[in-house]
Amino acid sequence: MKETPSQLPIQSFVMNFPFSLSTSDPNNIWMQELTDDELAINKPKAYKQFMDLYNFVAGGALVNLLPSEGNLQDQVYVANLGIYLPHIKNENHIILSNFTSDPRKGEEHVGEKFFNQMGYKTHVSPHKWEGEADIKYLYDNVYVICT
């Protein structure tokens, strides 16, 4: 089995710099209730907040940066991209999301390429599924579905 960040004795995270962060296509009920002024993104502030978080996390863990490809406005919310399956001990598997939200569709292709290059076996969910937002790993082969 090829060693991946999942085998390291330190924490490993994936983050995405907010290059493509946008609210141009409000894709949830809360965003649809906001005015244009409330939806406006302060990019310098977003970049600083990202760098503050990145520097904090990278001080004690490996941080892998997911490339920004295309016009994927929510790609920065990378936790929803999928989930690593730690209960499979002899291989590294990632299940990738199959988003229902139009602005998120396509993120799975960026993730698939990224994780395959790192040595993971990737699988896109055949069902609509929002990634780790919808499931949490507990222990052994026990996962909790959050709906």
144: exposed, middle or buried (Cβ count in 10 Å: 0-12, 13-18, 19+): exposed
Helix (H, G, I), strand (E, B) or coil at 128: coil
pLDDT in tens, 106-135: 999 999 999 999 999 999 999 999 988 889
Q: What is the largest CA-CA distance in the chain?
A: 51
Copy the structure tokens of residue 68: 């920004």
- What are 63-81's pLDDT values in tens digits? 999 999 888 999 999 999 9
pLDDT single digits (tens) 41-56: 999 999 999 999 999 9
Contact 5, 118 (CB under 8 A): yes
Give the DSSP per-residue string, 52-104.
Answer: HHHHHHHTTSEEEEPP--SS-TTTT-GGGGEEE-TT--SS-EEEEPB-SSGGG
* Global confidence as pTM: 0.89
Mean pLDDT of the chain: 93
Question: Rounded CA gap, 121 and 101, in Å?
Answer: 25
